[in-house]
Structure 1
Amino acid sequence: MVTLDAILLAGGRASRVGGAAKPLFEVDGRTLLRAGIDAARSVGAQRIVVVGPRLDDDAGLTWVREDPPFGGPVAAVLAALPVVDAEEVLVLACDLPTAVPAVAALPDVLGAGIDGVCLDDGRRQWLIGRYRTGALRTAASGLADRGRDAAMRALLGGLRIEPVAVDPALTRDIDTWDDLHHARGGAMTENRTLPPEALNDWSAALAEHFGLDRGDIPIPLILDLARDVANGVARPAAPLSAFVAGLVAGRAGGSPADTEAAVAAVVEMARGWDHP
């Protein structure tokens, strides 16, 4: 019987959602990380290696991180390969609410003469695939700088990968807030997501105008606050809560630690909010 391990990618920058922890986004009562874990276990993965910051207390997971972080999916796969023991490995990004049925669409056994399979919805979805571990190691050995910033095609393009045609609905991942809203059953809206460089420019302009240091504006922290309040209370409560957190932090002294404490207090309230 062929053995199988899994590599789950959960450590990206998530720049299109302001650096928020996408694997912790919930869809239908389950985080995207948990969807990936469930998908891996549903096909018999013996060891599940998660590449990213520790986001779950499940004792059955092995956590690793590419060095330095945010090196891209290839660097993440290469960081996980040394702790993979099985003959085959499932590679899956943790931004997919349909992870369980998507992984189920992959064949249980790789055919003779191929190095792997991946879903194909009109383009190859390398990060929903099952590959021979030895073939991945051989391909990885030819990459410079431990695969940092390399495209998945650089790792897999030279291998014999068989595509599995599927409907694009099965591979619709979450890259933006609008994607998350749609995955939760909401209608798609006009895309008002700022590209990360525009958000950084606006932050820099605010800092310059008001005489602040760039480090005084913790973009990911505030966006996480907005996400948690929007999810736990209501969307209009998010900017109000950010304003209140700023007031509380300012009254406490205005240090980065004061800001983190104020944000944490607001987030704790939002997560426990059950008012009708």
Structure 2
Amino acid sequence: MSVDAILLAGGRASRVDGAAKPLFEVDGRTLLRAGYDAVRARGARRVVVVGPRLDDDLPVRWAREDPPFGGPVAAIVAALPHVDAADVFVLACDLPTAIPAVAALPDPLPTGVDGACLDDGRRQWLIGRYRTAALRAAASGLLGRGRDASMRALLGGLRVEPVAVDPALTRDVDTWDDLRAARGGAMTESRTLPPEALNDWSAALAERFGLSEGDIPISLILDLARDVANGVARPAAPLSAFVAGLIAGRAGGSPADTEAAVAAVVEMARGWENR
């Protein structure tokens, strides 16, 4: 069965100060190159990378979602006109374990399914292999070119077979700490203690409203936003953060109250696709 590939490389990367995550090097190659090598090793003929042109040496077709930073669904919609194989890999370019992760996907896809994706307790839609015709049909029903749509909105109606794997196989790079862990703890000094993009704003908020440093748990809120964006939809992330703040405030407003409120919202988001 013929197969092409769509690599997603156009996110904002706000948790690493807007750095180009696909160009982070792990074990001597960039995450973009690792993704490319992973799909080529599984027989991908044409590889489409959605994002800014990052590596002119890669023999790929470059595409861009409209508008830029419109999310993974918008990126897939932008790439689909450039693929023509029966199946297509979909892979985010922030995965240090891209080669073994893609190798875990079935080849060929089982009869009677529209695709398969890894599942580490949650469906990892962005490490998957799908029927191209099924993706096109699903994308045709989306409004606004899929801007800010969740992967569930695109794939929730398809027959996607989960492939159970250890979470270590799907651990992506979202933060500088993730990158340090992927590199086995070895990072240059300039990468070890980078200034977080939100630190100055957080400090200004704390000073203006008489808050302490522990009152603004940046990582906790960013994790909440990520989980809600992945499990529900990107626009639901700020709304959910606001609701979590309301819940915590009504409970007393302590750090423990905030953690409990965030955990409750995240639990809802993670189960949203199965409701």
**Quick one: which amino acid aligns to residue 62 of structure 1?**
R
Contact in 2 for aligned 1:16/1:194 (Cα 8 Å): no
Q: Which residue pairs with 1:45 in the alignment?
A: 44
Does 2:179 align with 1:160?
A: no
CA deviations on 1:41-63 (whole Å, 9 max, x unpaired) are 00010000000001111352000
Distance 1:204 1:82, change over 3 A: farther
Distance 1:5 1:198, change over 3 A: same
Q: Which residue pairs with 2:68 in the alignment?
A: 69
Deviation at 1:199, TM superposition (A): 4.7
Contact in 2 for aligned 1:6/1:47 (Cα 8 Å): yes
**Quick one: which amino acid aligns to residue 11 of structure 2?**
G
Distance 1:193 1:150, change over 3 A: farther
What does 1:163-174 correspond to in 2, within 5 Å? 163-174=162-173
Gaps of 5+ in 1: 206-276
Q: Which residue pairs with 2:120 in the alignment?
A: 121
What does 1:11-160 correspond to in 2, within 5 Å? 11-58=10-57, 60-160=59-159
**Quick one: which amino acid aligns to residue 38 of structure 1?**
D
Q: Which residue pairs with 2:248 in the alignment?
A: none
Q: TM-score scaled to structure 2, two decimals?
A: 0.69
Distance, in Å, in 1 between the alignment partners of 2:126 and 2:199 is 28
Q: What is the total number of aligned residue pairs between the two structures? A: 201
Q: Could you say what the CA RMSD is over the residues aligned between the two structures, in angstroms? A: 2.2
Structure 1: which 4+ aligned runs deviate by more than 2 Å? 192-205
**Quick one: which amino acid aligns to residue 63 of structure 1?**
W
Distance, in Å, in 1 between the alignment partners of 2:125 and 2:194 is 26
Contact in 2 for aligned 1:87/1:134 (Cα 8 Å): yes
Distance 1:203 1:71, change over 3 A: farther
Distance, in Å, in 2 between the alignment partners of 1:46 and 1:200 is 46
Gaps of 5+ in 2: 187-192, 207-275
**Quick one: which amino acid aligns to residue 93 of structure 2?**
C
Q: Rg: which structure is higher?
A: 1
Distance 1:16 1:63, change over 3 A: same
Distance, in Å, in 2 between the alignment partners of 1:194 and 1:155 is 36
Q: Which residue pairs with 1:229 in the alignment?
A: none
Distance 1:98 1:145, change over 3 A: same
Give identity over the alignment, percent.
75
Does 2:179 align with 1:180?
A: yes
Deviation at 1:186, TM superposition (A): 1.5
Deviation at 1:21, TM superposition (A): 0.3
Distance, in Å, in 1 between the alignment partners of 2:124 and 2:170 is 8
Deviation at 1:203, TM superposition (A): 8.7
Distance, in Å, in 2 between the alignment partners of 1:59 and 1:194 is 31
Q: Which residue pairs with 1:240 in the alignment?
A: none
Distance 1:59 1:178, change over 3 A: closer
Deviation at 1:194, TM superposition (A): 7.9
